[in-house]
Amino acid sequence: MKKKVKKMLEWFYQETDRGDQNISECKNLYDLVERLQYRLEDMENEHMQLSRKYDDLEQKLNRIIDNLPA
């Protein structure tokens, strides 16, 4: 099990756009998991907002199509 965790950490801290930031800000694995959980919650919230906007646009488009002359 330790090998899997080590490989996962090596993968996460590889040279990516956030690798250096994660190394400097996350002192241990628990901090990293907490940070990822917050980011996931943010992404879920953004997804819900985008879904709502998409539905609004779809409804407006359908009303426009319904009002077009045949």
pLDDT at 42: 93
Residues contacting residue 35 through CB under 8 Å, at least 6 positions apart: 22, 25, 26
Please report, rounded to a whole number, the percentage of residues in the chain having pLDDT higher than 90: 43
More confident residue, 44 or 13: 44
Q: What is the pTM of this model?
A: 0.57
Confidence of residue 45 (pLDDT cuts 50, 70, 90): very high
Q: What is the mean pLDDT of residues 8-33?
A: 71
Q: Which letter, b or e, does each residue of 31-44 get, where b requires 16 or more Cβ atoms within 10 Å of its Cβ?
A: ebeeeeeeeeeeee
**What is the Cα–Cα distance from 52 to 1, expressed in whole angstroms?**
42
